[in-house]
Amino acid sequence: MVRIDGRGPEDLRPVRIERNYLKYPEGSVLIEVGETRVICTATVEDKVPLWLRGSGQGWITAEYAMLPRATQQRNPRDVTRGKPSGRTVEIQRLVGRALRAVVDLSALGDRTIWIDCDVLQADGGTRTAAVTGAFVALVDALARLFPDQEVLPVYDFLAATSVGLLDGQPLLDLTYAEDARVQVDLNLVMTGRGRIVEIQGTAEGAPFSREEFQAMLAVAEKGLNELLLLQAEVLGENAARVGKWTHEKTRPGNEE
Amino acid sequence: MVRIDGRGPEDLRPVRIERNYLKYPEGSVLIEVGETRVICTATVEDKVPLWLRGSGQGWITAEYAMLPRATQQRNPRDVTRGKPSGRTVEIQRLVGRALRAVVDLSALGDRTIWIDCDVLQADGGTRTAAVTGAFVALVDALARLFPDQEVLPVYDFLAATSVGLLDGQPLLDLTYAEDARVQVDLNLVMTGRGRIVEIQGTAEGAPFSREEFQAMLAVAEKGLNELLLLQAEVLGENAARVGKWTHEKTRPGNEE
Amino acid sequence: MVRIDGRGPEDLRPVRIERNYLKYPEGSVLIEVGETRVICTATVEDKVPLWLRGSGQGWITAEYAMLPRATQQRNPRDVTRGKPSGRTVEIQRLVGRALRAVVDLSALGDRTIWIDCDVLQADGGTRTAAVTGAFVALVDALARLFPDQEVLPVYDFLAATSVGLLDGQPLLDLTYAEDARVQVDLNLVMTGRGRIVEIQGTAEGAPFSREEFQAMLAVAEKGLNELLLLQAEVLGENAARVGKWTHEKTRPGNEE
Amino acid sequence: MVRIDGRGPEDLRPVRIERNYLKYPEGSVLIEVGETRVICTATVEDKVPLWLRGSGQGWITAEYAMLPRATQQRNPRDVTRGKPSGRTVEIQRLVGRALRAVVDLSALGDRTIWIDCDVLQADGGTRTAAVTGAFVALVDALARLFPDQEVLPVYDFLAATSVGLLDGQPLLDLTYAEDARVQVDLNLVMTGRGRIVEIQGTAEGAPFSREEFQAMLAVAEKGLNELLLLQAEVLGENAARVGKWTHEKTRPGNEE
Amino acid sequence: MVRIDGRGPEDLRPVRIERNYLKYPEGSVLIEVGETRVICTATVEDKVPLWLRGSGQGWITAEYAMLPRATQQRNPRDVTRGKPSGRTVEIQRLVGRALRAVVDLSALGDRTIWIDCDVLQADGGTRTAAVTGAFVALVDALARLFPDQEVLPVYDFLAATSVGLLDGQPLLDLTYAEDARVQVDLNLVMTGRGRIVEIQGTAEGAPFSREEFQAMLAVAEKGLNELLLLQAEVLGENAARVGKWTHEKTRPGNEE
Amino acid sequence: MVRIDGRGPEDLRPVRIERNYLKYPEGSVLIEVGETRVICTATVEDKVPLWLRGSGQGWITAEYAMLPRATQQRNPRDVTRGKPSGRTVEIQRLVGRALRAVVDLSALGDRTIWIDCDVLQADGGTRTAAVTGAFVALVDALARLFPDQEVLPVYDFLAATSVGLLDGQPLLDLTYAEDARVQVDLNLVMTGRGRIVEIQGTAEGAPFSREEFQAMLAVAEKGLNELLLLQAEVLGENAARVGKWTHEKTRPGNEE
């Protein structure tokens, strides 16, 4: 089976990650996955949310938005409705949660890292591109925050991708046009060591069998391995500072 | 391993579903899962959202809220903040999506079914209890809407439950106290024929391995089979009208 | 004159008050007045509103809401409009004001008691049921707050009811169907010693004469005496701790 | 007992009503009650609220606001909070309801009369001044709307005042300073024929006895009779067109 | 060229400024420019915005609103939309900025002066009337704040007016009817010494040439000189306390 | 006088305009003015605002936003406050008004052109860059809308720039660091034929003299001429379709 853009079912689109895309943020990347383009920035703020004050623990939070014409039809800005849409809320919670899972928040001290993911162009997979790009921006921000620390408080690499199911066939990294046709949409967020951080599978059309689910999972893992390699390559000298944090020894799942 | 309330790791809490709990809604149940208590109602409205007008297709949408003292600490009402919280948004989108996956919306005509899930008491698992209870309320509302139709436009039964992972051990149907201690939280929405409608697994603490994920999945399925049986029993005469809809023959995944 | 449900013009509907209806709140009741069902909870919070800080005086505030299908037609939630409706605002101000009138706020210290009245089913008289039920929840919360105090800082019992005027005839405790037909709606909040806390009479249709007003007042008092007796009975051992507070001797109207 | 400003307990403050205070509205007055100053305007709009469309009945609705420095301390504007305060909501509902009670809405056709009450200076009694002034603006607007109709669709004159209770003594027409000291606040809205449109008595401090209530009622009536006379005088030629409407013969309470 | 109201092209309408219009504010005026009527008040608050805390500098901020029937058609209140309109925002920013330009904020200490401009009647030129009137209210408030200071921290007088361009002819001080017909609208805020504080020229219809712009500027200056004289006259004894502040010697543009 | 970045006082920063920056919008550019980067898109929508329905006239409206980290400090998104800031409102009104001044709206038919200006990086002059870039995006969108029309309904080219005043010296095209130091900020929007569309001069620090104002004006014109040439060059084949529209002959100021 060949796809509209010539890819095989288990092929990612071309991915490009440009670091230091903007001059002010502590970390910033432009990530392009096919025609999808997302700016991810990481901002270090010297305070924590109210409910963390005094805990000595930091926080990571994410916001997500699309330019009105990132899409084929113009989308009104969230501010016009007065509040973020349900979809926006879901995505920004996902991004924040995923990044927190690989960072030792207690090592941040009384700081919040703000992750901003702004979609310039949306051709499917914006939320997974946001996770993948935001991880790189986050590492750069932490590298700048802890210039003298060889090992950053990041347990592992982190990337995300999506898989769809079309007539029983898993398709990796869906474009917008493909996304509209599949019956199932699976998003997987995975670490460099292959552990799962978040898995979300939704029957857009019809429920799916356990076998179909396992097949999609396997294809997602293949794509994620490529993305994780790319991140390591792009991060250059900072890549070596990731994945070696051992401070919190009792943390389950990091015993390796 | 024995749990605080004496259950084994793969035991559900006692579940009770009371139909026709309120006198005005077309369908209404009180579902109790252990100490968690949720009122689910289904309302039939004779119009559809703007973007469906003229399509001849109906819609199902869900709203979710908690009484301020459903929890140990009082939670401010959503209206006080002026908008629903991110958590509320996530849950109501999940409930709506799940129910739509087992109903033939084209059979509803120009109608919207409003599902309201209001939590009186929250001791863990409110979102899965909401799905399980809402399904029963929905069937009752459809039965009232189509009194002369032996077969309702409902492809299959639908229930949800959650599984956590504690020290590598999957635990079925977490209470609030347990939920705070687990490293992973997996929610599964499944149909009567064992197909997956929605799967969401989140690393609260540390990422989890693929084997741990599979073990949780198996435990969730066991619990769901019990819930699906209970639904069929509770629905009485209406149970036989569910799962036989064949109108939309080409719908993938319903070929059995 | 006999009413649809067989009552005489001066009869209350059957009233039931179930204490400790929920497990988390400091006080909670389910009050049923005919088919009207309201959950009233009382929450003790260890701080006061900004404008009371440092005054040494506590506060009581109330919130009110209806489940969307508490009524025959589904009502959108207040949060959907982004703010409480005018009716909601009016009712929650009434409930808070009424309860404050019988409690010695200076005895509460730097605490706020939050009263939440959530209507499960609305068949007329929800605001007066809310006052009557909330009083019981409040007493229970104070009893828990001051376990060793034989006399609670509550000056007197407090209940509320409504009377309508139909063709010149006062009708006690209106159902929803009756409420739609009457020309006048009178709400009365009264203490155990028969003093008035709040009186609100509104010409729904045509203005009313002073004689009609006095007749309605007399009927309301009769109903309130029954409700006050029921409260005392339901409160059991806590009833004896109410109405004996003498700390604030100079408080006018409590000299008896 | 003599009051700070030299009045006896049953004296109104000096009242002045200036008609046609603004040039654009169909009806507009500046009402001054002592130092309280309120602009009341009546606007005729050629449509009705959604829920009245097609009913052939018109509507009257009211809005109320205070200039930020109408009071001793500056009050933030309602728009700053994003919504009207509870007090604002209560007052505008009262004003609208009161005016509707003396107008034959079916005679308005598909029209809404907007009443705007804007307080320039607040020295107590703004809500009752608003009702009293708005009635005059409303009559002028109707007179302009129906220039050829000798009898306007207004059943009766309408005015409002307040009475407080201080040490058992009823005080008519409270200033702001007095209002802060009384134990009870009673607002009465009455028609030219002495019928009650709205009565609201609230125990600010301690509950009041039935006798105290009756004494306040008598004092309020005295004040209202003076206000109603003043309205008739001020309205000049338009006064004769009020109170003679007989179209809706079956309307209870208008048989005289 | 003679205008509808008989004025020549370079004539102001009659202007009247009444000081101490309200009893509570520290400064308050009613300014009437033709039929345009605006209440301007100045309130002294003993704190500064968050971002100025600890700077030792004060602040001046302005709010602007219109009564709903200040205009020919009723305008919904800003609070109804939940936020101020774009026009409101623009005007209140202009007023605040203009006043700050002539006051030595460091002399205010930790205080904010709130300027409230409320339009009772709008017949063109409300924003410039607001600036002109607010300046007088501000001086009075400062005079009251610094009773013993002969020289107030006000660098200069400040007034504003507008000029339009109709068929190449500049027209001073436009009424609402004129404003709707002109192609260009120029607002000028100027000090007593003839320096420019703010200039805003907008092509309502077609762009304008540089010569036309210069002609409008000249006419505006003429009008402003009259307004500045009137302010000095109206301010009476306080006028002599304005324009002599020399504390901040290095402030550019105040060297004279 | 040489500036930090080596420019002379009357030099623009390097300006780059990239057309067709995004794939979905009808017109889209990335404009870079020094380090300031703004994406401007133009969207054609086939309907007009409510108040224009049936008039046969189209509309142009603009929205403006900054990415949170477009600036040195992270700025909260407008949606977080629930409404656009005053600054945002001012800018988007300016952009819309300016573009409308050079387009024959009656030629658009029942269409709205949405202009979206999103600032990726803000180093001063974002609002004038937005106008300059948006004009190019607008022309491209109209060229696509009217492919067969040699002459587009655009009266003239349109660009904007800013000039500051520092120690009496006008400085063209301020960076953020310069903007913070100047005493006056002048924005000028001008057409290809040198006519003024909008002029806004604000005394940030001290009022300015008429001579200083004229000097700034001259410098602004110089910069605008360069920007207008660049636009013509960048627009390529579409440049020749601008500035020749003669349909509305009577429009003042377009007689040349």
**Minimal C-alpha gap between B69 and chain C (Å):** 6
Predicted confidence band at A1 (pLDDT cuts at 50, 70, 90)? low
**Minimal C-alpha gap between A91 and chain B (Å):** 10
pLDDT at A198: 97
Query: Which of A94, A105, A202 is the mutation pick for testing B, counting most B CBs within 10 A?
Result: A202
pLDDT at B205: 76
Nearest CA in chain F to A70: F24
**Minimal C-alpha gap between A71 and chain B (Å):** 17
**Integer CA distances (angstroms), C187 to A85, B16, C95, D190, in order:** 42, 39, 12, 18
Query: Which of B181, B197, B228, B255 is the mutation pick for testing A, counting most A CBs within 10 A?
Result: B197
- Write the residue in F65, F82, F84 that is nearest to A83 by C-beta: F82
Low-confidence ranges of chain E (pLDDT < 50): 249-256
Q: Cα separation of E247 and E234, whole Å?
A: 26
Query: Which of A24, A29, A46, A176 is the mutation pick for testing F, counting most F CBs within 10 A?
Result: A24
pLDDT at A248: 54
DSSP SS3 for F70:
helix
**Minimal C-alpha gap between B23 and chain A (Å):** 31
DSSP SS3 for D197:
strand
Predicted confidence band at F255 (pLDDT cuts at 50, 70, 90)? very low
3-state DSSP helix/strand/coil % of chain D, to nearest 5: 35, 30, 40
Asked if pLDDT for residue A249 goes beyond 80, the answer is no
pLDDT at B254: 41
- Write the residue in D25, D28, D67 that is nearest to E118 by C-beta: D67
Exposure on the CB side of residue E158, measured as CA atoms within 13 A:
31
Predicted confidence band at C167 (pLDDT cuts at 50, 70, 90)? confident
Nearest CA in chain B to C119: B67
Q: Cα separation of E37 and E34, whole Å?
A: 8
Q: Which residue has the tokens 């504003």?
A: E160
Query: Which chain C residues are closer than 8 Å to D196 by Cβ?
Result: 201, 203, 207-210, 213
Query: Which chain B residues are closer than 8 Å to A169 by Cβ?
Result: none
Helix (H) or strand (E) holding A113, with range, is: strand A112-121
- Write the residue in F25, F74, F118 that is nearest to A43 by C-beta: F74
Query: Which token pair is C213?
Result: 């007003």
**Minimal C-alpha gap between E23 and chain F (Å):** 31
pLDDT at E255: 38
- For helices F86-100 and E86-100, what crossing angle results, to 10°? 110
Q: Which residues contact B113 (CB under 8 A, 6 or more apart)?
A: B42, B43, B44, B45, B58, B59, B60, B61, B99, B138, B141, B142
pLDDT at A247: 58
Predicted confidence band at A4 (pLDDT cuts at 50, 70, 90)? confident
- Write the residue in B102, B201, B252 that is nearest to A183 by C-beta: B252
For the four alpha carbons of A228, A232, A234 and A238, in that order, the dihedral sign comes to positive
Write the DSSP assignment of A75-87 as a string of letters.
Answer: PPPHHHHTS--HH
Provide the number of CB pairs (under 8 Å) joining chain A to chain F.
86
Asked if pLDDT for residue C251 goes beyond 90, the answer is no
Q: Do E210 and F202 touch (CB under 8 A)?
A: no
**Minimal C-alpha gap between F23 and chain E (Å):** 31
pLDDT at F205: 76
Query: Which chain D residues are closer than 8 Å to C97 by Cβ?
Result: 202
Helix (H) or strand (E) holding E160, with range, is: strand E158-166
Q: What is the 3-state secondary structure (H, E, C) of B22-77?
A: CCCCCEEEEEEECCEEEEEEEEEECCCCHHHCCCCCCEEEEEEEECHHHCCCCCCC
Q: Do B207 and A191 touch (CB under 8 A)?
A: yes
Q: Any idea what the Cα angle at residue D107 is, between residues D104 and D110, rounded to 5°?
A: 120
Nearest CA in chain B to A182: B252
Q: Do F24 and A121 touch (CB under 8 A)?
A: yes
Eight-class DSSP state of A165: E
**Minimal C-alpha gap between B163 and chain A (Å):** 14
pTM for the full predicted model: 0.88
Taking residues D47-54, what's their average pLDDT? 92
Q: Do D200 and C205 touch (CB under 8 A)?
A: no
Query: Which of E156, E210, E214, E248 is the mutation pick for testing F, counting most F CBs within 10 A?
Result: E210
Query: Which chain F residues are closer than 8 Å to E213 by Cβ?
Result: 196, 199
Predicted confidence band at C183 (pLDDT cuts at 50, 70, 90)? confident
How do C36-45 and F59-66 pair as beta strands? unpaired
Q: Cα separation of C113 and C118, whole Å?
A: 16
Query: Which chain D residues are closer than 8 Å to C86 by Cβ?
Result: 89-90, 92-93
Taking residues B45-64, what's their average pLDDT? 94
Q: Cα separation of F230 and F234, whole Å?
A: 6
Amino acid at C78: D
- Write the residue in D23, D67, D71 that is nearest to E39 by C-beta: D67
Give the tens place of pLDDT for each residue, A173-215. Answer: 999 999 989 989 999 999 999 999 999 999 977 899 999 999 9
Q: Do B67 and C39 touch (CB under 8 A)?
A: yes
pLDDT at A82: 83
Q: Cα separation of F168 and D6, whole Å?
A: 64
Instruction: Report the share of chain A in percent with pLDDT over 70.
Output: 96
Give the tens place of pLDDT for each residue, D121-160. Answer: 999 999 999 999 999 999 999 999 999 999 999 999 999 9
Query: Which chain F residues are closer than 8 Å to A121 by Cβ?
Result: 22-24
pLDDT at A81: 84
Amino acid at D248: E
- Burial of B14 from C-beta contacts in 10 A (0-12 / 13-18 / 19+): exposed
Give the tens place of pLDDT for each residue, F33-48. Answer: 999 999 999 999 999 9
Predicted confidence band at B256 (pLDDT cuts at 50, 70, 90)? very low
Give the tens place of pLDDT for each residue, B201-214. Answer: 999 778 999 999 99
pLDDT at E1: 65
Nearest CA in chain D to E78: D79
Q: Do C83 and D86 touch (CB under 8 A)?
A: no
Asked if pLDDT for residue B250 goes beyond 90, the answer is no
Is-contact C18 C230, C-beta < 8 A?
no
Query: Which chain B residues are closer than 8 Å to C24 by Cβ?
Result: 69-72, 121
Give the tens place of pLDDT for each residue, A60-112. Answer: 999 999 999 999 999 999 988 888 998 999 999 999 999 999 999 999 999 99
Average pLDDT score, chain D: 93
**Minimal C-alpha gap between F191 and chain E (Å):** 8
Query: Which token pair is A71?
Result: 């899409």
pLDDT at D1: 65
**Minimal C-alpha gap between F82 and chain A (Å):** 5
Asked if pLDDT for residue A251 goes beyond 50, the answer is no
Q: Cα separation of C17 and C157, whole Å?
A: 15
**Minimal C-alpha gap between A116 and chain F (Å):** 7
Asked if pLDDT for residue A256 goes beyond 60, the answer is no
Q: Cα separation of B157 and B191, whole Å?
A: 5
Give the tens place of pLDDT for each residue, F163-219. Answer: 999 988 999 999 999 998 998 999 999 999 999 999 999 997 789 999 999 999 999
Asked if pLDDT for residue A146 goes beyond 50, the answer is yes
- Write the residue in E82, E167, E195 that is nearest to F209 by C-beta: E195
Sketch out chain F's domains with CATH numbers.
Answer: 15-75+86-242 (3.30.230.70)
pLDDT at C248: 54
**Integer CA distances (angstroms), D248 to C48, D8, D94, D157, E4, in order:** 53, 42, 24, 17, 48
Q: Do E82 and D83 touch (CB under 8 A)?
A: yes
Q: Where are the alpha helices (DSSP H) in A65-191?
A: 78-81, 86-100, 126-145, 176-179
Query: Which chain C residues are closer than 8 Å to B70 by Cβ?
Result: 22, 24
Taking residues C86-112, what's their average pLDDT? 95
**Integer CA distances (angstroms), E238 to E243, E244, E248, F93, F245, in order:** 11, 12, 21, 39, 57
Q: Do F210 and E217 touch (CB under 8 A)?
A: yes
Determine the straight-line distance between the first and last CA of chain B, rounded to whole angstroms: 39
Q: Do E102 and F207 touch (CB under 8 A)?
A: yes
Asked if pLDDT for residue D50 goes beyond 80, the answer is yes
Give the tens place of pLDDT for each residue, F59-114. Answer: 999 999 999 999 999 999 998 888 899 899 999 999 999 999 999 999 999 999 99
Q: Where are the alpha helices (DSSP H) in chain D?
A: 78-81, 86-100, 126-145, 176-179, 210-235
Q: Do F82 and A82 touch (CB under 8 A)?
A: yes
Is-contact E245 E154, C-beta < 8 A?
yes
**Minimal C-alpha gap between D65 and chain E (Å):** 9
**Of residues C146 and F81, more confidently modeled:** C146
Q: What is the 3-state secondary structure (H, E, C) of D37-106?
A: EEEEEEEEECCCCHHHCCCCCCEEEEEEEECHHHCCCCCCCHHHHCCCCHHHHHHHHHHHHHHHCCECHH
DSSP SS3 for A8:
coil
**Integer CA distances (angstroms), C216 to C9, C168, D6, D218, in order:** 11, 10, 38, 18
**Integer CA distances (angstroms), A192 to A132, D76, E166, F33, F193, in order:** 12, 54, 71, 40, 61
Query: Which chain B residues are closer than 8 Å to C35 by Cβ?
Result: 23
In this complex, which chains have at least 3 CB pairs below 8 Å with chain E? D, F
Give the tens place of pLDDT for each residue, F121-154. Answer: 999 999 999 999 999 999 999 999 999 999 999 9
Query: Which of A69, A89, A126 is the mutation pick for testing F, counting most F CBs within 10 A?
Result: A69
In this complex, which chains have at least 3 CB pairs below 8 Å with chain B? A, C
Q: Do E24 and D116 touch (CB under 8 A)?
A: no
Q: Any idea what the Cα angle at residue D161 is, between residues D155 and D165, rounded to 5°?
A: 140
pLDDT at E250: 44
Is-contact D66 D126, C-beta < 8 A?
yes
Predicted confidence band at C249 (pLDDT cuts at 50, 70, 90)? very low
Q: Cα separation of C207 and D98, whole Å?
A: 9
Is-contact B58 B109, C-beta < 8 A?
yes
Nearest CA in chain E to F218: E210
Q: Do E24 and D65 touch (CB under 8 A)?
A: no
Asked if pLDDT for residue B47 goes beyond 90, the answer is yes
**Minimal C-alpha gap between B91 and chain C (Å):** 16
Is-contact C10 C3, C-beta < 8 A?
no
In this complex, which chains have at least 3 CB pairs below 8 Å with chain A? B, F
Give the tens place of pLDDT for each residue, B134-160. Answer: 999 999 999 999 999 999 999 999 999
Determine the straight-line distance between the first and last CA of chain C, rounded to whole angstroms: 39
